[in-house]
Amino acid sequence: MPIYPERYDRSPLSDVERIALAVLVSGDAPLNSSARRKAEATLGRLIRPLHEVYALRRVDASTRPQATRVMLGQMHRRRKSFWQWSAQEWCDVVGVTAESFEGANGLPRRREGLRPHLLDVAYLVCGFEQFGPIWMATAFHPMARVVFGADVLDAQIARLDAVLADNGYSRGLVSIKQRHQALAFVLLLNRSPWLDDLSWAELDHAASMASAHAASIILGRIAKALVLLGINTPSADAATADPFPLGPSDGVPDEWYAWYRAWRMTGSRGLAPRIARHYGGYILYAGRWLARRHPGVVHPSQCPEI
């Protein structure tokens, strides 16, 4: 992790610090005034981690004063340092959406990256992990690149993407983006960028906190990739379930059905189970249609186009 909370003084606010917060939040102390400089120095132990986390995302400091003012204002309002905020208080501060964040902090709707910065502070400095209520408005993939380092995270994602692509899973941009968001969420919850550190317990925990669609990705594609990579063994349910069960033979000529079973064992290899089931259904549908319309055709070799 790029930030070590134990390096900071995490004690509750002192009376002197509460007074200093009031000075800065009231706006009565002009910029560069001695009163303002004294208040900022008094709050140095609180301002320092905010600035260090800010630097992880941005080189320029153009919005750093505003980001710091938001945090100082919230500490003044709550009369306690961010170290002592509960998970619910953090959710109230960052908001369920960007709009609610701006409303809670009196900010214009300019999307200046302040909310992601506060989430970085919550996660890295205060151990916040209650992402469930704010899932829809949180970009976990960019956040994970900040926390773990872009090169490290991208290498792990590429590893997972490659094994899924080799096994016939979608390469569509939307599907990949959703998968990266879900995987980043899992890794953040586990506080490790390494796929090899993920077990079924971590996947189940992440799925229980994610949106319904993200949970299906976590327990579906991501879980499948970890099994294919040899990191996890199939779950008990997955081990006993056939991902491509035989389709019904009703109305299908015996010879055609025998060919379907052979294709199921060989020709469907490399396809995702969902795709294989889809293709298999078409094969059986074609067999039934031919049995009704062209009963003499009982094998694909008798069809010129196959």
Domain of 9, in residue numbers: 5-130
Half-sphere exposure of 18 (CA within 13 A, CB side): 8
Q: Are residues 15 and 87 in the same domain?
A: yes
150 and 125 together in one domain: no
Q: Is residue 246 part of a domain?
A: no
Going by pLDDT thresholds of 50, 70 and 90, the confidence category of residue 239 is: very low
The pLDDT of residue 242? 56
Q: Is the pLDDT confidence value at 23 over 70?
A: yes
Q: Do residues 260 and 202 both lie within one domain? A: no
Provide the pLDDT for residue 240. 45
Question: Tens digits of per-residue pLDDT, 211-227?
Answer: 878 888 998 899 999 99
Mean pLDDT, range 221-236, rounded to an integer = 88
Residue 137 lies in a domain: no
136 found inside a domain: no
CA distance 221 to 129: 23
The predicted pLDDT at position 161 comes to: 93
Domain-located, residue 183: yes
Does residue 61 sit in the same domain as residue 150? no
Please give the span between the terminal C-alpha atoms of the chain, in angstroms, as a whole number: 56
The percent of residues above 90 in pLDDT, for the chain, comes to 41
Q: What is the pLDDT of residues 41-86, one digit of tens each?
A: 999 999 999 999 999 988 787 888 888 999 999 999 999 999 999 9
| Band of residue 270 on the pLDDT scale cut at 50, 70, 90 | low
- Asked whether 210 and 185 are in contact (CB, 8 A), the reply is yes
More confident residue, 167 or 191: 191
pLDDT category of residue 11 using cuts at 50, 70 and 90: very high
pLDDT digits (tens, 9 = 90+) for 103-147: 777 777 666 778 888 999 999 999 998 887 787 778 899 999 999
- Computed from CA positions of residues 72, 77, 80, 85, in that sequence, does the dihedral angle turn out positive or negative? negative
Top pLDDT among 104 and 35 is at 35
20 and 122 co-located in one domain: yes
Q: How many domains does the chain divide into?
A: 3
Q: Which residue, 66, 53, 38, 40, is CA-closest to 8? A: 53
Assess whether 10 and 125 both reside in one domain. Answer: yes
DSSP string over 163-219: HHHHTT----HHHHHHHHHHHHHHHHHHT---GGG--HHHHHHHHHHS-HHHHHHII
Question: Which of 240, 271, 294 is where one domain is finished?
Answer: 240
pLDDT in tens, 141-187: 999 999 999 999 999 999 999 999 888 777 778 889 999 999 999 99
Tell me: do 115 and 182 sit in the same domain.
Answer: no
The reply to whether 115 and 152 lie within a common domain is no
204 and 270 share one domain: no
The answer to whether residues 106 and 113 touch, using CB atoms and an 8 Å cutoff, is no
Is residue 245 domain-resident?
no
% of the chain at pLDDT higher than 70: 92
Give how far Cα 145 sits from Cα of 79, 154, 184, Å.
33, 8, 8
Tokens of 64: 């750093």
